[in-house]
Structure 1
Amino acid sequence: MRYFILAQYVTMLFVFGVVAWRGREIGIFEDPNFLMAIETTIVIAFFVVVINLLVANYAGYYLARATGTKLAILDVFLQLPLIVPLIVIAAGLDFWFIRFDLTETILGVVLIQLLPSLPYSIRIARNAYLSLDQDINQYVYLMGGTRKQLLLDIYLPLMRPMNETILLFSVVISVGQYAITSMIGGGIIQTVALLLFPYFASSQLQIVSAAALFTIFMALAMLFLFRWIYKGIVKGIGVIDK
């Protein structure tokens, strides 16, 4: 299955690359606002990923150990953004964003982009923590370990695959958001998705292919950068402990 999915991605990239190369008219890269949109998109995606990682790990760890009515109530709240249409929630929150002067700001766009990403990230983290031995904390404490050692030496390395999944998911969601970003950003906060949307709505397949390639490679570049930083942190902690 893994090789089949990989083959699909390679084929997709090849087709997009051939179509874009034959067109030879990639006008999106000549837009003077494009570089600024790239920087804005990277900043927004960075904060979305960081908040998802921090909140998902904390909430997922708590939910993995919660039981009874408390767990049922939290599950309902987590499912609401997945059931209610996203644009409806964003339209309702727009009033509060205006009251707190969060519209047309990067902070407001970051917060609104947590709606389609954070509930899924929390569920991913919860399932990952549930797969661990529930007595792992007691084992560490019995061996004389501290809470800091439990977090840095046990959970950080073990949760790396889960955190990489959350990272990839958050980056892709953030980079591809158009409707809620334009709603809260008000057209002032320009991201790559906002600039590329008119090209996707056009009939010029060459430009559409070039835009798709750029979006894919941008997401992959951000993913590998964050993965490199995460692995560096894990290795750095291991060296310090020695």
Structure 2
Amino acid sequence: MKIYVFWTIFALFVFFPISLLVLQSFTSPGSLTDVSALGWEELFGRRRLLEATGVSIVIGFFVVVCNLAIGLSAGKALALYDFFGKTVVDTLFVMPLLLPLLAITFGLHIAMIRIGLADTAAGVVFIHLVPTIPYSIRIFRNGYVSLGKRMQEQGEVLGASVWRTFLDIELPLLRSSIQSVIFLTFVISLSQYVITAIIGGGSVVTLAMVYFPFLSSANTSLVAAFSLWFALLPLLFYIGAEGLLRLFPYQRKVRR
């Protein structure tokens, strides 16, 4: 019975909306029967589309890498070690989610102007860490809590170094957490419009800055095509990241 409920909910809230969006993108504006690819042709006719897509992928990639590095180290420390001020540090990591993001952005914008990061891609990557890092730390903290400290101790007893323990024990068991962080971080980074416009100053044009002005367009086919293109990028990025994860030594099947 539960499986039928699940597929019913999936069909109503996922399959049908996406199918309607696909249908709208391949028909004329205001019609669902007149087949036309004008929406996609007009989309790819936009001069800055591919450029903004490339910029978004590059920025998202570096944001994901920074989140993995910071989230793994901070999540491990909060989950497995006790130190003075741990509660305070844990609270500070969550503060960006509790404070208005625009207030943080305006404050950091002044600092970035002084150090030369304003109107640069590096500054955009840095500001995208503010809404993403708290989630990454939480995800990896929960992953390390589930993993426990005894798994590390087992590796040390068997003579493994800290690096080997991390590669052969922690990373394989944290794969689901890594996958969650990669997908969530890229989606959040891709959807940032206001903070990207403020820090990027119009010099760094991402897909969100190209996409959101189109929402008021009367061309429903173009909006549907743009929405599908926007939603396709996180999926392709996740597939690419999954392919890289499978290249790790512990993912290869031993041939007999």
| Same-fold call, TM cutoff 0.5 | yes
Aligned residue in 2 for 1:227 = 242
Number of aligned positions between the proteins: 239
Q: 2:220 aligns with which of 194, 205, 209?
A: 205
Does residue 25 (structure 1) correspond to residue 38 (structure 2)? The answer is: yes
Q: 1:15 aligns with which of 14, 20, 26?
A: 20
User: What's the Cα RMSD here?
Assistant: 1.9
Residue type at the aligned position of 1:13: I
Asked if the contact 2:109–2:199 (Cα under 8 Å) also holds between the matched residues in 1, the reply is yes
Deviation at 1:58, TM superposition (A): 0.7
Q: Tell me the TM-score normalised to structure 2 length.
A: 0.87
CA distance in 1, matches of 2:125, 2:166: 27
Q: Tell me the TM-score normalised to structure 1 length.
A: 0.92
Deviation at 1:44, TM superposition (A): 0.3
Deviation at 1:237, TM superposition (A): 7.7
CA distance in 1, matches of 2:165, 2:7: 36
Moved more, 26-35 or 177-186: 26-35
Deviation at 1:169, TM superposition (A): 0.3
Residues 238 and 111 of structure 1, relative CA distance in 2, 3 Å threshold: farther
Moved more, 152-161 or 193-202: 193-202
CA distance in 1, matches of 2:49, 2:59: 15
Residue type at the aligned position of 1:25: L
Percent identical residues:
32
Does residue 161 (structure 1) correspond to residue 166 (structure 2)? The answer is: no
Asked if the contact 1:153–1:238 (Cα under 8 Å) also holds between the matched residues in 2, the reply is no
SS of equivalent to 1:139: helix
Residue type at the aligned position of 1:54: A
Moved more, 46-55 or 25-34: 25-34
Aligned residue in 2 for 1:128 = 143
Q: 1:53 aligns with which of 48, 53, 68?
A: 68
Gaps of 5+ in 1: none
Q: Deviations over 1:130-176 (max 9, x none)?
A: 01122222211112222122011101111111000000001101111
Does residue 109 (structure 1) correspond to residue 109 (structure 2)? The answer is: no
Deviation at 1:60, TM superposition (A): 0.5
- Computing the radius of gyration from Cα coordinates, the structure with the larger value is 2
SS of equivalent to 1:39: helix
Asked if the contact 2:152–2:169 (Cα under 8 Å) also holds between the matched residues in 1, the reply is no
Aligned residue in 1 for 2:94 = 79
Moved more, 158-167 or 4-13: 4-13
Gaps of 5+ in 2: 29-36
Deviation at 1:71, TM superposition (A): 1.7
Deviation at 1:216, TM superposition (A): 0.9
Does residue 172 (structure 1) correspond to residue 177 (structure 2)? The answer is: no
SS of equivalent to 1:115: helix
Aligned residue in 1 for 2:201 = 186
Asked if the contact 2:168–2:250 (Cα under 8 Å) also holds between the matched residues in 1, the reply is no
Residues 129-148 of structure 1: matches in 2 within 5 Å?
A: 129-148=144-163
Deviation at 1:230, TM superposition (A): 1.4
CA distance in 1, matches of 2:58, 2:234: 13
